[in-house]
Chains A and B, each alone.
Chain A
Amino acid sequence: MMPTDLADLVAAAKGGDRPAFDELVRATYAEAYTLAYRLTGNEEDARDVVQDAYLRAYKGLKRFRGDASFSTWLYRITANCASTHLARRSRDRHEDLADDDTLVDQRPEIDPELRADISAERSRLTEALQSLPPDMRAVVVLRDVYDLPHEAIAAELGITEGAAKVRLHRARRRLRERLFPLRGELREGDGEENVRAV
Chain B
Amino acid sequence: MQCDQIAELLPQVVDHHERADASVVRHVDSCLRCQAELAQYRKLLRALHQLRTEVLEPAPGMLPAILARLESAGERGAVRSLLSGRRAAYVGGLAVATAAAGAAGAIVLAGRGRRKMRVA
The interface of chain A, by Cβ under 8 A from chain B, is 18, 21-22, 25-26, 29-31, 33-34, 37-38, 43, 47, 50-51, 54-55, 58-59, 109-110, 113-114, 118, 121-122, 125-126, 140, 144-147, 165, 168-170, 172-173, 175-176, 179-180, 182, 198
Contact = CB atoms under 8 A, between A and B. Distances in A.
Interface string B42-84: 0111011111101111110011011101100110000000000
B34 to A, nearest CB: 10
Given A122-B50, A145-B52, A25 B12 contact: no
Contacts of A180: 40, 43-44
B50 to A, nearest CB: 7
A172 B14 contact: yes
A30 B67 contact: no
A29 B65 CA distance: 11
A47 B59 contact: yes
Given A54-B70, A58-B73, A140 B48 contact: yes
Contact of B66 (A29, A31, A169): A29
B47 A182 contact: no
A57 B14 CA distance: 34
B87 interface: no
A122 B65 contact: no
A110 B11 contact: no
Contacts of A145: 48-49, 51-52
Given A109-B59, A125-B51, A169-B12, 18 more contacts: A18-B74, A33-B56, A33-B58, A38-B51, A51-B66, A51-B69, A55-B70, A55-B73, A58-B70, A58-B74, A59-B73, A121-B47, A122-B54, A144-B45, A176-B41, A179-B44, A182-B40, A198-B37
Q: How large is the interface on B (under 10, 10 to 19, 20 to 34, 35 or more residues)?
A: 20 to 34
A162 to B, nearest CB: 12
Nearest to A107: B59
Interface of B: 11-12, 14, 33, 36-37, 40-41, 43-45, 47-52, 54-59, 62-63, 65-67, 69-70, 73-74
Contacts of A168: 11
> Could you say which of B33, B43, B57 has the most chain A C-beta atoms within 10 Å of its C-beta?
B57
A55 B58 contact: no
Nearest to B69: A51
Contacts of A22: 67, 70
Contact of B40 (A118, A125, A176): A176
